[in-house]
């Protein structure tokens, strides 16, 4: 494999022709992506958070496969998975019908607002730089570098929408392998899609899966449906799973996140004071442990149903 070098992500070869692009802290990726060589065509799964990161992804994908990127799959509508689309706008971009709808509804105003306040973002970065002079916190350094990538991307950022959509399932056939893209309904977002390689027993799961990382639960998230979906997926015959955030995992990691969500749902249906809750030991070493209490508060506010 050619030498790979990007400040935005680490490329991991899962097996011949299948690669995970794992986001680096402080880079412009923010979430994971994937490269799949079907033989006669190439798929990129998700396009990162900035044009800079997506540019590296495209260049590396074409260098590895020795052909243009044929298809791009957007797993869901969140920015860290679709804002690099413009770099791959000459490819066929595919998403679920709901993902396209949510991109149209949410991103134009969001991007316009961010573009209008680039100076405010730069002032904020400067304030963090002042803090960094008296701090050795590596998270602060990563945050500064990440925000710099955002500031660099905004002036030329364009929203590029998928040209192709599907309702429940879409298959892309290749001479080496086939890719089945499936929409699994509500979970992390209002529509989460996965890419399954049946010949390889590998799944790219987007933000349906976080590995060794606390998930982000948003107002649109449906933790109960999310946990139920993960329960079904944990029974798949799969060798490797590529999450939206965190390292490449195995089916056991699907079960771990399902248990995490069920534990949160159970706690959210009690009268326990969130100020008295400690992060359970089994999740304490996961990245972004501060999210556990925030997720619990979000669930209590939403008054989720008990675990089925």
Secondary structure element (H or E) that encloses residue 34, with its range:
strand 33-37
pLDDT above 80 (res 184): yes
**pLDDT tens, residue by residue, 230-277:** 999 988 889 999 999 999 999 999 999 999 999 999 999 988 888 888
3-class DSSP state for residue 107? helix
**pLDDT tens, residue by residue, 257-270:** 999 999 999 999 98
Please check whether residue 289 is in contact with residue 283, taking contact to mean a CB–CB distance below 8 angstroms: yes
| pTM, full prediction | 0.95
**What pLDDT is recorded for position 304?**
46
Please check whether residue 178 is in contact with residue 40, taking contact to mean a CB–CB distance below 8 angstroms: no
If pLDDT is split at 50, 70 and 90, which confidence band does 216 have? very high
**What pLDDT is recorded for position 306?**
42
**What pLDDT is recorded for position 308?**
36
Q: String of b and e for 230-268 (b: at least 16 CB within 10 Å)?
A: bbebbeeebebbbbbbbbbbebebbebbbbbbbbbbebb
Please check whether residue 229 is in contact with residue 187, taking contact to mean a CB–CB distance below 8 angstroms: yes
pLDDT above 60 (res 5): yes
If pLDDT is split at 50, 70 and 90, which confidence band does 72 have? very high
**What pLDDT is recorded for position 275?**
83
Q: Which residues lie below 8 Å from residue 242, measured CB to CB, with a gap of 6+?
A: 14, 20, 32, 34, 45, 202, 203, 204, 205, 209, 248, 249
What domains can you pick out in the chain, each with its CATH number?
Answer: 1-163 (3.60.15.10), 201-308 (no CATH)
């Amino acid at each position: 494999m050619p030498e790979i070098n990007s400040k935005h992500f680490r490329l991991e070869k899962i097996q011949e022709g299948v690669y995970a692009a794992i986001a680096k802290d402080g880079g412009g990726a923010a979430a994971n992506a994937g490269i799949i060589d079907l033989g006669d065509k190439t798929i990129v799964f998700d396009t990162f958070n900035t044009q800079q990161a997506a540019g590296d992804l495209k260049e590396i994908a074409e260098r590895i496969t020795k052909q243009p990127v044929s298809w791009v799959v957007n797993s869901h509508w969140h920015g860290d998975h679709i804002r690099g689309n413009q770099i791959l706008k000459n490819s066929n971009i595919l998403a679920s019908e709901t993902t396209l709808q949510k991109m149209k509804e949410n991103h134009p105003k969001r991007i316009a607002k961010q573009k209008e306040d680039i100076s405010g973002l730069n002032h904020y970065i400067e304030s963090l730089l002042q803090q960094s002079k008296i701090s050795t916190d590596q998270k602060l350094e990563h945050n500064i570098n990440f925000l710099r990538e955002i500031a660099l991307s905004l002036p030329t950022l364009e929203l590029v929408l998928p040209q192709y959509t599907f309702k429940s399932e879409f298959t892309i056939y290749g001479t080496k392998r086939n890719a089945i893209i499936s929409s699994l309904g509500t979970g992390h977002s209002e529509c989460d899609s996965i890419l399954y390689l049946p010949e390889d027993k590998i799944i790219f799961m987007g933000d349906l899966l976080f590995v060794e990382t606390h998930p982000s639960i948003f107002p649109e998230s449906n933790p109960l449906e999310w946990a139920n979906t993960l329960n079904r997926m944990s029974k798949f015959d799969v060798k490797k799973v590529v999450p939206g955030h965190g390292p490449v995992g195995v089916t056991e990691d699907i079960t771990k996140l399902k248990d995490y969500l069920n534990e949160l749902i159970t706690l959210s249906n009690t009268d326990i004071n969130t100020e008295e809750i400690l992060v359970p030991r089994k999740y304490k070493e996961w990245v972004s442990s501060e999210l556990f209490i925030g997720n619990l508060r979000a669930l209590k506010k939403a008054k989720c149903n008990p675990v089925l």
